[in-house]
Amino acid sequence: MHLFIEVIAAFFTALSFGVLFNMKGKNLILAGIGGSIAWFSYKFLLNMGVTENLCFFIATVCFAIYCELCARIYMTPATTLSVCCLIILVPGYGIYNTMYSVLTNNYIKAVEYGVSTLSCASSIALGLVFITTVFRKVNLYGVLTKIKENEKYKKSINKIKQQK
């Protein structure tokens, strides 16, 4: 039940950032769903005992794939969706602890929190860059066009039409 409430809160958080970025209509809902996907995948993996950095990476991959697919299906910019979903995973608690430790002159803890936070942020950045690059390099429309133009495909379609 606790995870369900967190996922709903993530939905409204991403939706609110969508409002802040002047998104309208269905894009707001898409952003909220993406935020829910990001938070659910992060918390689910964390509860399964996966390391925190890997949780951040996989959660980022999940929402980045979702955002890239939504961008192609609904003809909307992937960047705005990604930023709204990304806000959910920002390691704010780690940043807070780092700054608090610096202000209380506990520099050893500050370095510990800082390195941990930086590694989590790096995992997020790596996941986002990885999926964005894959989607930019792989032209899904071109792949589908080549498949349709393939002779074997045409022959099998003709066979099916003849059988009817």
Q: Span 140-157, mean pLDDT?
A: 66
Question: Is 117:95 a contact under the CB 8 Å cutoff?
Answer: yes
For 15-58, write each residue's pLDDT tens digit: 999 999 999 889 999 999 999 999 999 999 999 999 999 999 99
Length of the chain: 164
Cβ neighbour number for residue 2 with a 10 Å cutoff:
7
C-alpha dist (Å) from residue 31 to 26, 73, 85 = 9, 14, 6
Q: Considering only CA atoms, which of 37, 34, 17 is closest in space to residue 70? A: 34
For 103-148, write each residue's pLDDT tens digit: 999 999 999 999 999 999 999 999 999 999 988 887 666 666 666 6
Domain spans of the chain? 2-163
As a whole number of Å, the end-to-end CA separation of the chain is 52
Question: Is 14:86 a contact under the CB 8 Å cutoff?
Answer: no
